[in-house]
Amino acid sequence: MSGNVTSLFRSTAAHSPSMAALARESGEAAGAGPVDFCIPCNPYFPTPAMFDEMAGRLRDIITYYPSSADTITAELCSLLQLPPQCVAMGNGSTELITWIDHLLVRESLAVPVPTFGRWTDQPMETGKRVDMFPLQEAGGFALDLARYAEFVRARGTRAVVVCNPNNPDGGYLHKQALVQFMDAMADRDLVVIDESFLEFADAEAEPSVVQEAMLRPNVVVLRSLGKNFGLHGIRFGYLVANPALAGRVRAMLPKWNLNSFAEHVVFMLRDHGPEYARSLHQVRRDRLEMAAQLSALPGLTVYPSQGNFLFVRLPVGAEGTAVRDRMLTEHRVLVRECGNKIGSSSRFLRLVVRPQVDVRRLVSGLEQVLYGAGRGAAVPGPATGTGYSSGTAAVDRLMYETNGSGMRAITAQTAGAGALGLAAAPSPGTGTGVPLPAAVPVAPAAATAPGPPPVPQPVPGPQPAPYPGPVPVPHPAPVPQPVPAPVPAPAAAAAYPPPVGPTPPGVPARGGLTAAQVRGTNGLESVPATGWPNAVGMGQAG
């Protein structure tokens, strides 16, 4: 591939160029492009037989109008055992993020960084204040929900986003911790839990919070279909919320916002649940093996992930854009360099989990690009983690202007704070952005009514047993995990303010249904099984 191809990355502000653009620039035939470690797509689904079936019906699919979005949504909800009034389907999750911003975000939104770029870019494009909470490199980019909640209250932010697993690092938060966080944020306008990559997680059997979201008046769960079904080009996704919130979004969507390919795939899925479950098992096994192989490269740090990708820090002295360009031009391997992600830098790559034959090609290319012809030649020393990798001066400036006192003050507060980290706002007059409001006081709990326990820190969950699929895969060696820099122990356990509890059984949520109605039952009998995993444990069975 020529240098003209790599120039496409420099003309793309926040994302990688599309595969179509790369193919046009390179002049390659369809299907002859690079091995793709950039686009986070399931490589095992749809199956070859499903692609053949779609190809055989291509003319009809693209000739005629699709059914209405209500018809397609009803079929998806039947498959996932969700009430249609709690679901809105969009032309990709990005369309839904756009409508969430326009309809449900009033003045400000908090988001940890680095994360998916539309959660920072979209609200800034519509003039909202975006409060960015930096995930610390020294802590392995783990999100501390207690400190994040304190940050939200100190800033007075009205809407909150959490991505689980997070993109690009794959960090995972356990369901119990997220539910506690949702209740602690009950006084905010909106809490969004982006579960776009949750299908690939195996840390717990039922990781989704969709059932809990439907019972709360201010929670929206966003889910992708293109990523886990391996069909990014179709552009379909959905959100789940109580009927009032879901209805507001659904009312703004065009009647035919979903195309005929999306309809065809949704109506195919009922007959292909076992194949889908096997594909997720295979991706999880590949993730273990790929992490082990990458961790063996000297100076390369691989962070624990529950997504279908791995976040890696390059050895000292390696620059991500140069590595990306050489991997593409010399080895025909496409990787995602993360220097244009707020909160990251060009020392980091996001690498999509792929079959082992492709991983061997990736590792071989990285060995040659990073270390030269000889494996042991010019091996950089191990890196020491820093508190925050900003990447460029432009990113630092953006963070400084958006967060009032900027990253320097926030990092200093985090390093020197006690139990709550960001315990106090700066004094008036400091910083150049919007001044921080005073932290919301928390009333002491009564002696007979202790407050909720502290949020457990996310830890890597148990790995699944090898799946007896058609392709035998040897049991991988344990994955060496990066050792974060020591963090001073807090003076006292961090706790949330007293939360507003969930809706009791039998009592309708605001603008919505009872718990039994949400689950599609009368409260006494269970939902009949359909053979397809439901939305809570989707992909976990099989």
Per-residue pLDDT reduced to its tens digit, 185-226? 999 999 999 999 999 999 999 999 999 999 999 999 999 999
* Pair 83, 517: CB distance under 8 Å: yes
pLDDT tens-digit profile of 29-84?
555 679 999 999 999 999 999 999 999 999 999 999 999 999 999 999 999 999 99
The CA-atom distances, in angstroms, between 54 and each of 58, 62, 65, 412, 418 are: 6, 11, 16, 56, 58
- CA gap 377, 542 in Å, rounded: 46
pLDDT tens-digit profile of 313-348?
999 999 999 999 999 999 999 999 999 999 999 999
For residue 516, count CB atoms less than 10 angstroms from its CB and return exposed for 0-12, middle for 13-18, buried for 19 or more. Answer: middle
**pLDDT(470) > 60:** no
What DSSP character marks residue 338? -
Cβ neighbors of 491 (< 8 A, separation 6 or more) are 418, 419
**pLDDT(103) > 50:** yes
* Pair 535, 518: CB distance under 8 Å: no
Give pLDDT, residue 33. Answer: 76
Angle of CA points 500, 495, 194, to nearest 5°:
65
Mean pLDDT score of the chain: 77
Q: Is the bond into 114 cis (omega within 30 degrees of 0)?
A: yes
The H-assigned helical ranges of 137-259 are 145-155, 175-184, 210-214, 243-252
Give pLDDT, residue 372. Answer: 87
pLDDT level of residue 448 (50, 70, 90 thresholds):
very low
**pLDDT(393) > 80:** no
Cβ neighbors of 108 (< 8 A, separation 6 or more) are 128, 129, 130, 131, 155, 156, 157, 158, 159
In degrees rounded to 5, what are phi and psi of residue 268? -80, -25
- CA gap 456, 172 in Å, rounded: 12
**How is 363-432 classified by DSSP, letter by letter?**
HHHHHHHHH-SSTTTTPPPPP---S----SHHHHHHHHHHTSSHHHHHHHHHHH--TTSS-SPPPTT-SS
The CA-atom distances, in angstroms, between 495 and each of 176, 184, 398 are: 14, 10, 31
Mean pLDDT, residues 114-123 taken together:
96
